[in-house]
Each structure stands twice: as structure tokens, then as C-alpha cells.
Structure 1
Amino acid sequence: MLTLFRLLSRWPLWLLHLLGAALGWMVFALSPTYRRRFVANAAQAGYSFAQVRAAVAHAGRMSAELPRLWMGAPTPLQWEGSDCVDAAYARGQGVIFLTPHLGCFESTAQGLAQRYSPAHGPILVLYRPARQPVMVEVLAGARERPGLETAPTTLAGVRQMIKALRAGRAVGLLPDQVPPDGMGQWAPFFGQPAYTMTLGARLALQTGATVLLVWGERLPWGRGFRLHFRELAAPLPGDLDGAVVQINQEMERLIRECPQQYLWGYGRYKQPRRDPVKEV
């Protein structure tokens, strides 16, 4: 697998995206479970399949571009709305970047690291350790880029994030990812209860860091990615429950900017797994 990833990392982005689009449609055609979940999740948000059918191919592109993003040369990036990032860093209280499973979220962390880490220190990104041994080998060092650090979904990882924020640095996470049992709470997401990560809200309330929204638009024909930055529609409430609900609403707002690139096949409404976080 590692050899395959290294080989694919040398391919041009447009060719990886072409391969990924085909893979996306193949999975959609061969997996009734995935197909039903995709259509149901989109319908829950008010979209017909015709409106979001492009997301089938984008899901495949998301997977196919990973070798290039993890092991290959940097990809072209465009920036939109980044003035709010400069202002957030200037406040000196740390920055929390939140992004849903929309477009290429890997590109957002890499872009921020390239642009801001020389002056503000590395960005720390939360990740879930791989369970399959073959992926452990691939991921070992794959995400280690200049200016980019990773923190596991453990208590030690949470402490890393708090320390980074208190030092005025930035952290990034995907708050629409279903957390393990005990690390979240139920909150509406497109009108349906979803087990929701509380970490982003807790970090903001505990540290006073600025919360910003970001997503990486996948540009056509392998031209790279456009990073979109947004401020919150309103300040987060001072209570955890209210903050978690608002973060879900903010994720919905981003997704509605480009529903054709959202990962509708993700099991957003599934029951959390019983995998308690252990302190390491």
C-alpha cells in the first residue's frame, strides 16, 4: 500500500481526480447501503439527488487525491476571505479552524501551515488514528509537513490543543465527525439529532480563542483548491449546549455554499461507537 501511495503521489492532480470520479461512481453503484445513506442524508438537508449528484464523484476524488496531498508536491491554492485569519492571529488568543467534510479539508490545514506557520508557529490538527495496520504504515509521517502537527483523539491530544491555543497558535478539527461515545452530545444537524463533537465548543469556551470557519473548494480539471474563510454568523453562546448547536448550524451554512462537494455518504446520524478515550 505504501508503494502504491508513493506511485500515485507523482500523478498529476487532474488524473487522480479523473480516477477518483470513476471510483466514486463505482462505489455508489455497488453499495446499496452507501447509496441509501447518501440519498437520505441529502434529502434530510432538503436536496434531491439531482441537485447533489456531483458529490458522488467528489467523494471519489477526495480519496484519490490523498496520495498527492500526503506525499506529493504542494498543490496550487487560491485564497478567499483570509483577512479574518490575519485579524484572528493578531488578537493573540489562538485560532480554532472548523471545517466540515466539504471539498478537500486536507488542503485547508496544509495551506494554513504554509502561509501562517513561519510567523505564528505550526498549526495543530486533530486526527483519528488509523485502525488498519496497512493504513498505519501509510500515515506514518504522511501528514508531517512543515508547519503542520497532528494531535490524536485522546486526552493527551486535547491537552496539546489547549496548550497550542494558549500559546497563540492555531488548531483545526472537523466538528461534523461523529465522536466516540462520551465525547459528544446530541444536537440538531439539518433538523435531525446527530451525535456531535463538543471539543470545538469546549476549546473556544475554555481558552477564548477565535473560532473561524474554512473549507477547501476542489477546482475543476486539477487546478488545485480555493480556500474559503468565514467568521461565525454570531458570537458563540457562553454555555456548552448552545455553542454546540451553533457550531452545527455554522457547518450547515458552509455546506449550503457548495452541497455538490459535501460527503453526503458519511454516516453522520449513526450511533457513536463505544471506544472510550484513554489518557496516554
Structure 2
Amino acid sequence: MPSLFRLFAALPLWLLHMLGAAMGWLILLLSPTYRRRFSANAAQAGYRFGQVRSAVGHAGRMVFEMPRIWLGKELPPCNIVNGECVEKAYAQGKGLVFLTPHLGCFEMSVQAAAQRWSAEHGNITVLYRPARQSWLAEILETARNRPGVQAVPTTLSGVRQMIKALRKGEAVGLLPDQVPPDGQGTWAPFFGRDAYTMTLAARLVLQTGAAVVLARCERLSWGRGYTLYFEEWPMTDATTLEACVLQINLAMEKTIRQCPEQYLWGYGRYKQPRVERSEAAAFVKPGENA
């Protein structure tokens, strides 16, 4: 399997996207459960299948492009739009929280941002869950700790490293539309239906006063690369944890609606959280010292 990953990393992006699109449709055809979840999640957001059908192929592209993003000798072309709001957020000196949903190539978002700003403003810190397979764990450790990116584990120690990074004026990156383990989230509306939502992003913002910037990295056709969009998201009216979580969900909804055909509609966003014993559940409350 490691050899296959490295082979894919050497293939051109257009070929990876072509293979991935085919795999995405094959999985949809073979899995009734995935097919139902895809349609139900899209319908919850107000979309008919025909409106977001291209997201089927993009889900496959997401899988096949990862070796290229993680292990490729150089990143594919990525045009950055509205980088000025990132500069403005850094200038405030309270740190920066990048938030992106499972849309487009979210793995590329942090890599491209680090390539652009880490030399001047320090690493971008991201959380990762160590893989159970030793070969994959080794690949992920190499891939996600590329220049300008600092990957930390989903433990209390990792969370504290994120807080320290923000207090130094650096940036962190999170995908707040993923379902956290039981005890690390709260139920909040997402496209009109309650979904178990992580509180970590909200706690980081409340505790440090960091600026929030939304990111979405859209794939260009025919493997021509990506366009990474940034948008400032002021949260001045969110003074409680519940209000902040709701604001973040609204931000994710807005970002997804800007490119629904590349969102991961097949993700189990409304599933029950898994029960997991984790240090991260003991996240330091706002106002406490890390």
C-alpha cells in the first residue's frame, strides 16, 4: 500500500482526478447506504440530486488527489483569492483560526496557506488523529508535517499547542463540520437539523480572541489546479459557547452554498457521536490557563 501511495503521488493531477471521479460514481452505484445518505444530506440543505450530482465525482477526486498533495515533490498550482483578509487577520496579533468544511480539496487549503504565509508568520497548526495502520501513520506524519505545517495529535496536549500558537499570533486550521467524539461537542442546527458539532473551534476563538477566516479550496477542471478563496468572518456578537458554535455552523453553511457541487454530501454529518476516551474531552474552559 505505501508503494501505491507513492505511485499515485507521482501521477499527474488530471489523471488522478479522472480515476477518482470514476471511483466516486462506482461507490455510489454499489452502496445503497451511501447513496441514501448523499441524497438525504443534500435534500436537507435544499438541493435535488441533479443539482449536486457532480459532488459524486468530487468525493472520489478528494481521495485520489491526497497522495499527490501529501507526498508530491511540489504542490499543484493554486491561485489565492482575497489573501488580503488573511494579512489583516495576522496584523491583529491575536492569532488566526482557519475554518473550512469538507469541501473541495481541504487538504490543499492548509498547504497552500502555509506556503504563502508561514515564512513570515510561523507554522499553521492542525489537529490529526493518528492512523491505526502503521504504514499509513508513517505516511501521514510525513505528509502533514510539511514545511510551514505543524500537525498535533487530538489530545489535550495537542489542543494546548494550538492555544499557544494562537497566543503567539500564529494560525491554526480546523474542519468544524466533522462529528467529534462524544463529550467534545454539542448539538446545534446545521442546515436546519441538529447535528453534533465540535466545540473546539468556538473555544479557541472565545479563549484567545483570534480572528476567524473561512477558506474553501475549489478544484479546477481537467486537473489544472485549485483556487483557494478566503473570507473574513467576524464573530463580535458571539459571546457564549452556544452562540459561537451556531455562528460557526452558519459560516460553514454559507461556505458550502458557494460551491455545493464540491461538498462531501456523503459524509455522515448527522450521525451519533462515537464514544471515545480522549484527553481532548477535558479541553481547558475559556478563562482558564493552558
Could you state the TM-score of these two structures normalised by the residue count of structure 2? 0.94
Asked whether the equivalents of residues 54 and 261 of structure 2 are also in contact (C-alpha less than 8 Å), the reply is yes
For residues 218-250 of structure 1, what are the alpha-carbon distances to aligned partners after superposition, in whole Å with 9 as ceiling and x for unaligned? 111111110010111653511000000110010
1:118 aligns to what? Answer: 119
Q: Structure 2 stretches of 5 or more lacking a match?
A: 281-290
Counterpart of 1:45 in structure 2 is 45
Q: What is aligned with 2:283?
A: none
Correspondence 1:224 to 2:222: no
Distance 1:236 1:171, change over 3 A: farther
The equivalent residue for 1:250 is 251
- Structure 2 residue 55 is matched with structure 1 residue 55: yes
Amino acid at match of 1:226: T
Q: For 1:125 and 1:138, how far apart are their aligned partners in 2?
A: 16
User: What residue in structure 2 maps to residue 241 of structure 1?
Assistant: 242
Q: Decide which moves more: 226-235 or 264-273.
A: 226-235
The residue aligned with 1:25 is: 25
Q: Using the TM superposition, give the Cα deviation of residue 133 of structure 1 relative to its aligned residue in structure 2, in angstroms.
A: 3.8
Per the alignment, residue 108 of structure 2 pairs with 107
Structure 1 position 138, deviation (Å): 2.8
Provide closer, same or farther for how the CA distance between residues 236 and 57 of structure 1 changes in structure 2, counting only shifts above 3 A. Answer: farther
**SS of residue paired to 2:15:** helix
Conservation of the 8 A alpha-carbon contact between 1:2 and 1:137: no
Question: Which amino acid in 2 is paired with 1:51?
Answer: Q
Distance across 2 between alignment mates of 1:215 and 1:199: 20
CA distance in 2, matches of 1:127, 1:98: 15
* Counterpart AA for 2:189: P
Give the aligned partner of residue 207 of structure 1. 208
Name the aligned partner's letter for residue 42 of structure 2: A
Partner-residue secondary structure (3-state), 1:129: coil
**1:260 lines up with 2:261 in the alignment:** yes
Please report the TM-score for the alignment, with normalisation by the length of structure 1.
0.97
Residues of 2 paired with 1:37 and 1:233: CA distance? 32
Aligned-pair CA distance for 1:140: 3.1
Instruction: Check conservation: 2:211, 2:234, Cα contact below 8 A.
Output: no
Counterpart of 2:190 in structure 1 is 189
- Other-structure match for 1:7: 7
Map of 2:163 onto structure 1: 162
Residue aligned with 2:11, SS: coil
1:29·1:35 contact (CA, 8 Å) conserved in 2?
Answer: yes
Report the RMSD for the aligned CA atoms in angstroms.
1.3
- Which ranges in structure 1 are unaligned for 5 or more consecutive residues? none
Moved over 4 A (4+): none
- C-alpha distance 170-236 of structure 1, shift in aligned 2 (>3 A): farther
1:131 Cα offset (Å): 2.9
Deviation at 1:142, TM superposition (A): 1.9
Match of 1:90 in 2: 91
Tell me the CA shift for residue 277 of structure 1.
1.1
Letter of the 2:276 partner, please give it. D
Cα 1:190/1:82, change in 2 over 3 Å: same
Q: Tell me the alpha carbon deviations over residues 91-114 of structure 1, each in whole angstroms, 9 at most, x when there is no partner.
A: 111000000000000111001110
Aligned residues: 280
Partner amino acid, structure 2, of 1:245 = L
CA contact (8 A) 1:236 1:246 kept: no
For structure 1, which segment, 64-73 or 127-136, has the greater mean C-alpha deviation from structure 2 after superposition?
127-136
Closer/same/farther in 2, CA of residues 122 and 229 from structure 1, 3 Å limit: same
